[in-house]
Structure 1
């Protein structure tokens, strides 16, 4: 018989403004402990030295994580020109240098190559899998290997400041699976001067903003108290990018049992993915077909 997981049955989202020096997993564990929650997960890993929004899902909200992972995200970051590192960030060893420094106009002109549908090679020090093993493990062990390029949608990449000849500040909005470190590395290569990330902050992810996030110190101060519960956002926040349909009482009952349920007329079209609500609460996510929602995920709340 499986052991029952300890903790409270709470569902929702807690937005954290992650500090540098903590892994995403450590933040999730901190939130789970502070809220005494049975289940928690996050929507999109941040590197340990990166800061910014890390949305932590609790309970039934973990079923909405894929929709946040797939959503657009925005990053503000600083690139150090003139140096390449083996990790593509400031944590690694410098492996190449250059005295060349591009002008502002040259940088702005080069950014266009990284907008739209692009192919991106993730850093060797990343969590992508190579023959079943994490790339960062192979890299740390000194193994020789290649990382395959993968598609990435970049909605926007702009230069926001040039504090000095060695540094350029950029903002990027992109889809799922983007590596800012790869952008810095590849931009440096295109400009002929090398480059790596020295500062990275995720400013928003889907419907969640870093400026609305709690700091770790605040979470510690309110841990195990009702005060922290007040910062929980509803499960439905994770469904912000999907259209909503309302269901009948009979439809809600069927959906909760995993069966197709009748939903009220709306502007969704046959085959659309959407979520059904009853009395303002999410009941299920699924595919709309001829007046019914065929569920793929059902919420128990």
Structure 2
């Protein structure tokens, strides 16, 4: 017999403004504890020293995590020129130096190479698995780490500010799986001056923005109280990038039982993915097959 999970049956999204110095997993565990939630997860890891949007899903909202993870995300970050590090950020050991410094024009021109469909090699100190082991574990042990390039969609990459010759602040909007540290490293190589990330902040992720983020101080101050629930966003927010169809109460029951059911949809292609709602509440996600939705995942009322 399956062991029953302890905690509250609570569902929704919490947008956390993650502080520097904490892993994403530690933040999720803190949120889960504060809400006394049975289940929690997040939509996209942030490096420990990065700040900004960490979208944490509770309960049934965890079923919508893939849709937020796959959505576009925006980052603001500062690159330090003149040094490469083994971690591609300021926490690592400097492994090479350069006296060269790029002009603003050279930076803007080089940024064009990193827009659109690109191939990106993740940092050696990353959570990518090699033969079942995390790359960072191998790197910390002094082992040689060779990672294959991965495809990445970069919507835009622009120069925001040039505080001084040694630094540039950039903004990148990209798809799933992007490593900002790799962008800084590769940009430094392209400019012939070397580079690494000094500061990194995720300003938005899919439908969630840093401006609406809750701090850990707020979470800890109201932990284990119902007052904390006011910060929760509905699980439906995690489906913002999918089209919505509507259904009757009878159809909602069928869908929740995993069966196809009639929905009201317009302008959708046959086989297109959508989510069904009854009275504004999410019922299921699935494929629209003619007049019916064939569910792939369902939400408990």
Output one character per residue of 1:33-58: Cα deviation in whole Å (capped at 9) or x when no partner. Answer: 11111100000000000000000000
Give matches, 1:202-221, under 5 Å: 202-221=202-221
- Counterpart CA distance in 1 for 2:252 and 2:229 is 27
Distance 1:193 1:265, change over 3 A: closer
- Counterpart CA distance in 2 for 1:261 and 1:29 is 37
Q: Aligned residue for 2:259?
A: 259
Q: Aligned residue for 1:51?
A: 51
Runs of 4+ in 1 over 4 A off after TM superposition: none
Q: Aligned residue for 1:19?
A: 19
Q: Aligned residue for 2:182?
A: 182
Q: Which runs of 5+ in 2 are unaligned?
A: none
- Counterpart CA distance in 2 for 1:238 and 1:93 is 39
Q: CA deviation at 1:269?
A: 1.6
Distance 1:167 1:245, change over 3 A: same
Higher mean alpha-carbon deviation, 90-99 vs 126-135, is at 126-135
Give matches, 1:22-33, under 5 Å: 22-33=22-33
Q: Aligned residue for 1:68?
A: 68
The answer to whether the 8 A contact 1:110-1:187 is kept is yes
Q: CA deviation at 1:3?
A: 2.3
Q: CA deviation at 1:290?
A: 0.8
- Counterpart CA distance in 2 for 1:182 and 1:255 is 43
Q: Aligned residue for 1:121?
A: 121
Task: Give me the CA root mean square deviation.
Answer: 0.7
Q: Secondary structure at the match of 1:46?
A: coil
- Counterpart CA distance in 2 for 1:179 and 1:265 is 38
Q: Aligned residue for 2:269?
A: 269
Give matches, 1:269-288, under 5 Å: 269-288=269-288
Q: Secondary structure at the match of 1:44?
A: coil
- Counterpart CA distance in 1 for 2:48 and 2:193 is 26
1:165 aligns with 2:165: yes
The answer to whether the 8 A contact 1:250-1:262 is kept is no
Q: CA deviation at 1:266?
A: 1.9
- Counterpart CA distance in 1 for 2:205 and 2:126 is 20
Q: Aligned residue for 1:140?
A: 140
Q: Which runs of 5+ in 1 are unaligned?
A: none
- Counterpart CA distance in 1 for 2:14 and 2:144 is 40
Q: CA deviation at 1:227?
A: 1.3
Q: Secondary structure at the match of 1:230?
A: helix
| TM-score, normalised relative to structure 1 | 0.99
The answer to whether the 8 A contact 1:39-1:59 is kept is yes
- Counterpart CA distance in 2 for 1:107 and 1:52 is 25
Q: CA deviation at 1:145?
A: 3.0
Q: How many residues matched?
A: 301
- Counterpart CA distance in 2 for 1:83 and 1:161 is 19
